[in-house]
Amino acid sequence: MRRIIVALLALVIGIVWCGRPLQARERVYRIGAVFAVTGPAAWLGDPEKKAAKLVEREINARGGINGVKVEVLVMDTQGAPQMAVLKARELVTKRRVMALIGPSRTPTSAAIMKALQLDRVNPRFKVPMVSCAAGRILTQPVKPWVFTTPQTNALAAEAILKYLSGRGIKRVAVVYVSNGFGEDGYDNLKALAPKYGVKIIGTETYGGKDRDMTAQLTKLAAQKPKAIINWSVGPTSVIVTKNFKQLGLDKKGIFLVMTHGQGNIKYVELCGGAAEGVILPAGKILVAQYLPDTDPQKKVLMKFKEDYEKTYKEPVSTFAGHAYDALMLVAEAIEKGKVRPGDGAALRKALETETSGFVGIDGIFHYSPQDHNGLSPEDMVMLKIVNGTFQLTR
């Protein structure tokens, strides 16, 4: 018995010793990143992590911010809310980061926001989070300590509806994946459709692991829509595209509209020809080279695209851009606001007041106390897939 007690005591002391807090003398801007690097959303978290690491190297190569180096600590949420909360807590309390970037998805972001009380004016830990997720819950209404970088589903829905109504397409059907992204997209479409005189005549859903959607598409096509809008991410969008072609719906004069979730040339490659003619709203990174030189984003976009593709030997995606923007916005706020290392509260203030007009990958940001997403519909372009590449369309 005594031995057990001694052993337990030793264990406890060991844990305490390993976990003793880092010394508070901060000579570095320490920023925590939480991404779904593995798990079912790894295709999101992986490019985000790569982009964050790229930006870190770049900032440090030019001497850091205000002469102080930046350190980005990446943690893996595995796409699971509980894991995300733990990792964020570790970064905030043990690693003493002054800001969080990420996570990749809305449920994990919301869980961190709630657990760290970032939706309150005065949380225990004054650490702003710049999330790479787009769900409405994160920014509507504004949460004091939460910012987001991706174009919201609301912006994408608006871009789609504007495009469709501009071509006189008023009867549309919606099919979406039953996860947070899909539901949020559908809610936005439903809310905005009347504004553009568009009528949603049918809705179907599918699961994230479903691999045949012909039943849903057939049911929708029977109601004779002029366009079918698919709101999903990942492989399901490839299957929908292939099934759409297989059913020959394009020949029946129906448009297939995807979303910014397909902002990745891999989507087109996986579809193997079936993606021809698909229309989607997206950030400008996908068509950076086709933008006119007068576009204020062009220089930033081209540089990031070249750096990323040179470093990682894979095509850049919009997801990488979300993480680039998150980290760059934090850096911009630190620089402009002359924020001292470790001062998260000043950083939050600077994000709100000092970064307006920042030219990023996802658009030109205008964070303000009333708007923690800061993008506008002009930051999205409508693309059409022609000959296996993204082309601008109007």
Partner 1 sequence: MKGDYLILLLLALVAFILPLILPGDYYVEVFLFMGINVLVALGLSLLMGYAGQISLGHAGFYGLGAYISGALTAHLGWPVPLAATVAILATALVAAAVGWPTLRLKGHYLAMATLGLGIILYILFVQLRGVTGGASGLSGIQPVHVGHYYLDTPRRYCYLVWSLVVLAFFFSINLVRSRTGLALKALHYSEVAAATLGIDVARYKLQVFVFSCVLAALGGVLYAHYITFISPETFGFMYSIKLVVMIVLGGMYSLWGALLGGAFLSLLPEVLHRLEDMEVVVHGLILLLVLIFLPGGLVGLIQKIGERIRGSS
Partner 2 sequence: MAQLIQYIFAGLTMGVIYALTGVGFNLIYNATGVINFAQGEFVMLGAMFLYTLQEVLQWPPLLSLLLVFLLGGVVGVVFEYTVVKPLVRLGVITVIIGTIGASVVLKGGAMLVWGKNALAVEPLISEKPMAFLGASLNTQVLVVLAVTALAVAVFWYFFGFTILGKAIQACSVNPLAARLTGIPVERMITLSFFLSGAFSALAGGLIAPITLAEYDMGTMLALKGFCAAIIGGLGNNPGAMIGGLLLGVMEGLSAGYLSSGYKDALAFLVLILVLFWRPEGLITRGKGERV
Specify the residue, 206 or 244, whose C-beta has the smaller distance to partner 1: 206
Choose, by CB under 8 A, the member of 29, 32, 35, 46 that binds partner 2. Answer: 46
93 binds, among partner 1, partner 2, none (CB under 5 to 8 A by kind): partner 1
> 336 vs 3, 30, 97, 98, 358, CA distance in Å?
59, 17, 19, 16, 11
d(CA 157, CA 182): 12
Q: Please tell me whether residue 38 binds partner 2 under the rule CB under 8 A.
A: yes
Contact call for residues 258 and 177 (beta carbons, < 8 A): no
Choose which of 60, 178, 368, 389 interacts with partner 1 (CB under 8 A): 178
* Residue 210 C-beta: closest distance to partner 2, Å: 8
Figure out which of the listed residues 133, 193, 238, 380 binds partner 2, where binding follows CB under 8 A: 238
Percent helix, percent strand, percent coil in the chain, to nearest 5: 45, 20, 35
Rounded CA separation 87/83 (Å): 6
Strands (E), the chain: 29-35, 70-76, 99-101, 129-131, 146-148, 171-177, 199-206, 227-231, 255-257, 279-282, 358-359, 364-365, 381-386, 389-393
Q: Within 159-178, which residues bind partner 2 (CB under 8 A)?
A: 178
The separation between the first and the last C-alpha atoms of the chain, rounded to the nearest angstrom, is 78
Site for partner 2 (CB under 8 A): which residue of 212, 306, 309, 378?
Answer: 212
Is the link from the previous residue into 141 a cis peptide, with omega within 30 of 0?
Answer: yes
Q: Are 113 and 129 contacting, i.e. CB atoms less than 8 angstroms apart?
A: yes
239 binds, among partner 1, partner 2, none (CB under 5 to 8 A by kind): partner 2
Instruction: Write out the binding residues for partner 1, residues 82-141 only, by CB under 8 A.
Output: 82-83, 85-87, 89-90, 92-94, 106-107, 110-111, 113-115, 117, 124, 135, 137
Alpha carbons 261 and 44: distance in angstroms, whole number? 10
358-359/381-386 β-pairing:
unpaired
Query: For partner 1, which stretch binds (CB under 8 A), given 74-82, 165-173, 195-203, 341-349?
Result: 74-82
Contact partner at residue 378 from partner 2, partner 1, none, CB < 5 to 8 Å by partner kind = none
- Smallest distance from the beta carbon of 69 to partner 2, in angstroms? 30
What six digits make up the tokens of 304? 């990031």
**Residue ranges in contact with partner 1 by CB under 8 A:** 1, 3-5, 8, 12, 15-16, 19-21, 37-38, 75-76, 79-83, 85-87, 89-90, 92-94, 106-107, 110-111, 113-115, 117, 124, 135, 137, 178-180, 182-184
**Residue ranges in contact with partner 2 by CB under 8 A:** 38, 40, 42-43, 46, 178, 204-207, 209, 211-216, 218-219, 222, 234-235, 238-239, 246-248, 266, 269-273
